[in-house]
Amino acid sequence: MRTATDLRALFAPRGVAVIGTSRNGTKLGAVMARSLAEYPGGCVLVNSRNPDPADGVYGSVREAVEETGRPVDLAVLCVPAAASADALAEAAEGGVRAVVACAGGFGEIGESGAAHERALADVVERTGVRLLGPNTSGFVVPGRGVVASFVPAAGGVRSGAVGVVAASGGVNHALAFALANEGTGVSVAAGIGTGIDVTAADVLEYLASDKATAAVALHIETVPDGPRLLAAVRAVTAAKPVVALVVGRSDVGDFARSHTGALATSWRATRAALRQAGAVVVDDERELVDAVAVLSRTRLPPAADPGIGVITAQAGPGLLLVDRLRADGLRVPELSEVTRGRIAEVLPPLTYQRNPVDTGRPDAGFATVLRAVADDPTIDVLVSYTLTEPDTVDLVSIAQEAGLPGSVPAVLTVGGLEDETSAVREQLHKIAVPTATTPAAAVNAVRALVADSRARHRAVSPAIGTPQAIPEVPARAMDEAEAKAFLNALGIRTPPSRVCTSLAEARQALRELGGAVAVKILDAGVLHKTELGGVHLGVRTEEELAEAVRALTAIGAQRYLVESMAPSGVELVVGARRDPLFGPVVLVGLGGTAAEALADVSIRVAPVNAAEAAAMPGELAGSALLDGWRGSPALDRDELARIVAALGAALVAAPDLEEIDINPLRVTGSGLLALDAVVTSRQEES
């Protein structure tokens, strides 16, 4: 059983060997040897073809250990793909416990490379050596002096509190450099590469207990083991923040057999799953750097909706801050009368003082304003903007006078020329006050603080009551009537209906149901009935009924579902399916025939707790339609949460259940009604 402690040999080795070193200074082995030459634990060079012990180049790791008397925990392979498996095996014989394989030419080039990859994996399995790569530019641990990277500038990355875990070696270095340029160093920065052995989950598990790491930047391209990745993220976020960037927004896969399958793409599911596990999910690398930099220095307590206090010394940038914050759904509450009274004692009456607070220019009263806003009971985090004015304003002294960092975290934004702002930023970082240099960066930072706070608040939410027993899943496709009976057993309401096989039965159903009805083809093989002309709505008379039945018969219908028309209202799509990466997931989105075109959805991994389920409709771009838009019925979020939880629980409890799709689920004045449903099983698909 491999554990996170196995990676100590990788990130904190007693000694290092470069296998495949070269006298040609431009080759990979020579570059890596230069990178590791000053490693405090010692670095030995190995070249089996051209050993020269007198010059410190040995024929094998075992020979190097015997000659030097120093153990070697980590070996960096700088050999071609075809030679990598043998080189790894030889290193293991010499006592090496961790290896970085830098070469390409494995599975990505086809079968010949895949054979080399299998050979490498076999040696890993046989020896228990931990392998990072192949196809990676390596990693750095600046605080320990480990620069196992062939990127020359990697040695200049400063030591700090951010752990970087990136799918790509290039992205790993790009993030490490960006963090360094922003005045934030790294604890570990690792590029996973192919991930034959060591994956992102492994490194996350290591960083969870790494005392040098205060926050983690996570870059994801593929997910080999969804549940394990989520477990690792949960383990880290329990103690320190994780900020995640997922690649694949533009990927387009084959449409699934139902609306839910078509919408729950891997990119959406991965982002949703990481967010549910506690990570702060961002859209690009700039936002990732801004977010993880602030979270490595401070963290808000768990809260449902933290309040933000905005203090600006220049009105225009302050407006940019507030506009972005509110557009992102963050709360900028009005300050209390007591707070405004304290502020009025130091600011001119013409300045805006309700939140945001416009000070005009920073002066001796700026610290008082910061302190007053921080003390307001509605405020959980401060964000400010000032231009650098070295001759008149000492922002570091102002921060200290205001008691920062204090019980309320603050992000101070400093605008100006880089040489001036970097100096101020460096001083503020020394007193543990996070900084930003633009309004956009400040918003990224505050948004991350709030997202992290909300995620931890949701994590402690109680579970929702779910059905005690899940209905039996038949080993065949269900028609709409059977699917709705299945929903009824889960406690999900559907309109009154009758199954009919003749016009006479349909007429009897019309009389029994009363009022207008829908007449639909009843065939388990037809999933999208509207497109086939298999749905007739608003049927009131026997003449209209006969016409509808004739039309359905013409398209091959032998059975019909006659169902009471539901009251008007906004329509949702709600479903559950087995995601190939994460297992059972649930989905909520705007429904109807436009569901796939709009793709306005929220996803969670099942089972779902109360807070997660209740938050889903609020994440939709069209969420305002659910709150009684222009007199339409308002969504009962608690009822929706129970439905979502029931669908997820059904898939968790019934391994043979593949997918449940309710589209539409209509919001009515008397609650939610499932107007159409598709239920599929694994036996059916096999």
Measured CA to CA, the distance from residue 169 to residue 566 in angstroms comes to: 56
Say how far apart CA 331 and CA 324 lie, in whole Å. Answer: 11
The verdict on 234 and 104 lying in the same domain is yes
- CATH code of the domain covering residue 543: 3.30.1490.20
Please, which pLDDT band fits residue 2 given cuts at 50, 70 and 90? low
> Residue 267 pLDDT > 90, yes or no?
no
pLDDT in tens, 515-573: 999 999 999 988 788 889 999 999 999 999 999 999 999 999 999 999 999 999 999 99
* Polymer length in residues for the chain: 686
Distance separating alpha carbons of residues 574 and 10, to the nearest angstrom:
45
CA atoms within 13 Å, Cβ hemisphere of 301: 6
Cα dihedral across residues 55, 61, 63, 65: positive or negative: positive
Instruction: Give CA–CA dist 469/552, Å, rounded.
Output: 36
Does position 319 have pLDDT exceeding 70, yes or no?
yes
Same-domain status, 291 and 329: no
Last residue of a domain, one of 523, 541, 564: 564
Which residue from 218, 222, 248, 221 is spatially nearest to 232, judged by alpha carbons?
Answer: 218
Strand partners, 21: none
Task: Please give the single-letter amino acid code of residue 628.
Answer: G
The boundaries of the domain holding residue 429 are: 308-459
Torsion angle in degrees (nearest 10) through CA of 335, 337, 340, 341: -160
Burial 31-68 (b: 16+ CB within 10 A, else e): bbbbbbeebebbbbbbbbeebeeeeebbbbbbbbbeee
Give mean pLDDT, residues 189-212: 96
Residue 154 lies in a domain: yes
Distance CA 434, CA 585 (A): 37
One domain, residues 103 and 139: yes
Asked if residue 87 is part of any domain, the answer here is: yes
Q: Could you give phi then psi for residue 132, rounded to 5 degrees?
A: -100, 120
- Structural domain ending residue among the three candidates 236, 265, 295: 295
For the stretch 79-126, pLDDT in tens is 999 999 999 999 999 999 999 999 988 888 889 899 999 999 999 999
DSSP 650-679: HHHH-TTEEEEEEEEEEEETTEEEE--EEE
3 state DSSP class of 376: coil
Asked whether residue 76 is domain-assigned, the answer is yes
**Residues 222, 228, 233: CA angle, nearest 5 degrees:** 85
In 426-582, DSSP assigns E strands to: 435-436, 497-500, 517-521, 535-539, 560-564, 571-579
What are the distances in angstroms from CA 680 to CA 258, 486, 566, 575? Answer: 10, 11, 25, 12
The amino acid at 447: R
Residue type, 129: V
CB atoms within 10 A of CB 562: 26
User: Which residues, 6+ apart, have CB-to-CB distance to 194 below 8 Å?
Assistant: 106, 107, 108, 117, 133, 134, 135, 136
What does the pLDDT read at residue 262? Answer: 43
**3 state DSSP class of 381:** strand
57 Cβ contact list (under 8 Å, min separation 6): 21, 45, 46, 47, 50, 51
Q: Is there a single domain that holds both residue 553 and residue 622?
A: no
CATH number of the domain that residue 596 is part of: 3.30.470.20
Concatenated DSSP letters of 567-618: PP--EEEEEEEEETTTEEEEEEEE-STTHHHH--EEEEESS-BHHHHHHTGG
Clarify whether residues 130 and 242 are in a common domain: yes
The amino acid occupying position 631 is: G
Q: Do 543 and 626 have their domain in common?
A: no
Tell whether the model's pLDDT for residue 252 goes beyond 60.
Answer: no
Omega before 134 within 30 of 0, i.e. cis? yes
What are the structure tokens assigned to 25, written together? 């200074």
Residues 507 and 527 in one domain: yes
pLDDT of 27 > 90? The answer is no
Q: Does residue 458 have a pLDDT over 70? A: yes
DSSP 3-state of 299: coil
Kindly tell me if the per-residue pLDDT of 258 is higher than 50. Answer: no
Cα 248 to its chain centre, rounded Å, is 12
With a cut of 70, say whether residue 5 has pLDDT above it.
no
Task: Answer whether residue 444 shows pLDDT above 80.
Answer: yes
Is there a contact between 587 and 601 (Cβ–Cβ < 8 Å)?
yes
Model confidence band, residue 202 (pLDDT cutoffs 50, 70, 90): very high
384, 360: one domain: yes
Rounded mean pLDDT, 450-461: 94
Please give the Cα distance from 407 to 380 (Å, whole number): 9
What local confidence, expressed as pLDDT, does residue 10 receive? 97
Residues 223 and 123 both lie in one domain: yes
**Together in a domain, 371 and 260:** no
SS3 632: coil
Cβ atoms of 312 and 358 closer than 8 Å:
yes
Instruction: Measure the CA–CA gap between 118 and 88, rounded to whole angstroms.
Output: 13
> Is 478 a member of any domain?
no
Sorting pLDDT into bands at 50, 70 and 90, what band is 261? very low
Q: Are strands 16-19 and 74-77 parallel, antiparallel or unpaired?
A: parallel
CATH number of the domain within which 105 lies: 3.40.50.261
Please classify residue 88 by burial: count the beta carbons closer than 10 Å to its beta carbon, then call 0-12 exposed, 13-18 middle and 19+ buried.
buried
Domain assignment present for residue 488? The answer is no
Res. 257 pLDDT band, cuts 50 70 90:
very low
User: For 337, phi and psi rounded to 5 degrees?
Assistant: -60, -35
Rg of the Cα trace of the chain? 31
Q: What is the pLDDT of residue 255?
A: 31
Reported as a single tens digit per residue, the pLDDT across 329-369 is: 999 999 999 999 999 999 988 889 999 999 987 777 899 99
Question: Which percentage of the chain shows pLDDT scores above 70?
Answer: 95
Percentage of the chain lying above the pLDDT 90 cut: 78
Assess whether 204 and 262 both reside in one domain: yes
Residue 467 forms part of a structural domain: no
pLDDT-derived band at 248 (thresholds 50, 70, 90) equals: confident
Give the pLDDT confidence of 468-514 residue by residue, as tens digits: 788 888 878 899 999 999 999 999 999 999 999 999 999 999 999 99
User: Domain for residue 271, yes or no?
Assistant: yes
Predicted structure pTM score? 0.92
Confidence of residue 668 (pLDDT cuts 50, 70, 90): very high
Instruction: Provide the 10 A C-beta neighbour count for residue 290.
Output: 29
Q: Specify the residue for token string 């040696």.
A: 123
Q: Are 397 and 443 in a shared domain? A: yes
Residues 6+ positions from 18 with CB-CB distance below 8 Å: 29, 32, 33, 36, 43, 44, 45, 46, 75, 76, 78
Helix H or strand E encompassing 288: helix 285-295
Residue 617 included in any domain: yes
pLDDT in tens, 366-407: 999 999 999 999 999 999 999 988 777 889 999 999 999 988
Which of 235, 264, 295 is where one domain is finished?
Answer: 295
- Indicate the number of domains in the chain: 4
Max Cα-Cα span within the chain = 103
C-alpha angle 343-346-349 in degrees, rounded to nearest 5? 75
Residue 254 has pLDDT above 50, yes or no: no
